[in-house]
Amino acid sequence: MTTIAIVGAGFVADYYVTTRANHPELRLGGVWDRDAARLKQFTGFHGLKAYGSLEQCMEDPDVAIVVNLTNPESHFALNCMALEAGKHVYCEKPLGMTFDEARHVIDLADQKGLTVCGAPANGLSDAKRLTAQLIETGQIGKPRLAYAEMEDGPVFKDNWTEWRSRSGAKWPGLHEFEVGCTLEHAGYGLSWLVALFGPVESGQAFSALTFPDKGPGTHDLSLAADFSVGCLTFRSGVTARLTCGLAAPRDRSLTIVGDEGSIVVRDLWDDRSPVHLSRFDEKRPLLQRLAGRFERQRGTVLPLRLTHGKPVAYPFPASAMSLSSFPSKIDFARGIAVMAEAISSGETPFFSGQRALHLSELALALNDGVGSFEPRSNF
């Protein structure tokens, strides 16, 4: 049994508390938030203990892991505070707002003999496991090219001011517009890409603010980029493109093309997303062939696009677990559980240390649109 404490009771905290039920080996010692009203609402709804202060949280002798769910600008200071208090840290992305901040967090953890892991946990999903198996067993030959999409749709045109979490927390739309969709969402694609293909050797990054007017409440804000694209070259030889945006139609897919075929993961935010496999030496599924013939004969594109390839059955059963509701069907607490298990076994968690630093560095580079870059982190 590992005791954790949550700092930050905002919108995403409900996802962590909901999915903690999947991991009875995690005990939640308590929660703290600088907003007293929000803390009371959150802990009251879930029946949890509220710490009287941040210091009380950090001094709790039972707590082994501090889960940092604060806003990105607070990550660095809180990560350092927790490490100085002798706690392991699981942090929402990124570890800091600059590479130097993120590197300091990892260096401090090394000095203290502690572990820092970074979110998101979708890189530990069943869908990623299945995709990795398909690649490792040579189903598409050597991977060459990948397209990862993190398009969230035109959310600023939606009724986002009315969005609420289970406990009633508001979706922090204004803050997301200020900090940028890339820092919030790139990690969901990067965690998959790095887990499958290893470290990035070099990249090209571009970002832009394409919709400077996002409606009431945003006119006096300094808005961050709402679109970014990164072209990444991995040391393994794979080339990938990752896009993030807040305007194009929702698309959270991943396409991987190899020498002998391709894999399409329909939704990186779904723990057991449909995964499709297509081999160049096989006929396409009948429905796809018929659709292609219809389009050629009519000279027009069908309004409904079919996912390329045949759906692959999961060779391992789904575990009975609670997931967040659509569109965030991720076991958020799995990352903490995997971290706790590794620590207790004396092992290194996958998304920790230099790999966590690498992911933060990549997300920061894409968010800033730095042009050509070569990551300074390595694992």
Q: How many domains does the chain have?
A: 2
| pLDDT higher than threshold 90 for residue 257 | yes
Tell me, yes or no, whether 264 and 360 share the same domain: yes
Q: What is the CATH number of the domain that holds 48?
A: 3.40.50.720
Distance in angstroms (rounded) separating the CA atoms of residues 82 and 88: 7
In a domain, 126, yes or no: no
Tell me, yes or no, whether 241 and 276 share the same domain: yes
User: Would you say the pTM of this structure is higher than 0.85?
Assistant: yes
Tell me, yes or no, whether 233 and 275 share the same domain: yes
Which pLDDT band holds residue 297 (cuts at 50, 70, 90)?
confident
The range of the structural domain enclosing residue 99 comes to 2-121
The answer to whether residues 352 and 339 touch, using CB atoms and an 8 Å cutoff, is: yes
Q: Which of 64, 88, 121 is the last residue of a domain?
A: 121
> What 8-state DSSP symbol labels residue 210?
-
Tell me, yes or no, whether 86 and 35 share the same domain: yes
Q: State the pLDDT at residue 352.
A: 97
The sheet with strand 143-151 has its strands ordered as 310-311, 275-279, 261-265, 254-258, 143-151, 239-245, 227-234, 200-208, 371-373
Task: List the structure tokens of 218.
Answer: 């945003």
Residue with tokens 């990186």: 268
Residue with tokens 């009519």: 298
Q: State the pLDDT at residue 320.
A: 63
Q: State the pLDDT at residue 100.
A: 98
Tell me, yes or no, whether 311 and 215 share the same domain: yes
Q: How far apart are the first and last CA of the chain?
A: 30
Three-state SS at 281: coil
Q: State the pLDDT at residue 307.
A: 86
In a domain, 337, yes or no: no
Q: Which of 121, 152, 173 is the last residue of a domain?
A: 121
Closest CA to 256 of 238, 236, 234, 270: 238
Q: What does the mean pLDDT of the chain come to?
A: 95
Summarised one tens digit per residue, pLDDT across range 26-80 is: 999 999 999 999 999 999 999 999 999 999 999 999 999 999 999 999 999 999 9
Tell me, yes or no, whether 117 and 190 share the same domain: no
Distance in angstroms (rounded) separating the CA atoms of residues 60 and 122: 29
Summarised one tens digit per residue, pLDDT across range 132-164 is: 999 999 999 999 999 999 999 999 999 999 999
Tell me, yes or no, whether 35 and 151 share the same domain: no
Query: Tell me, what amino acid is at 214?
Result: K
Tell me, yes or no, whether 96 and 215 share the same domain: no
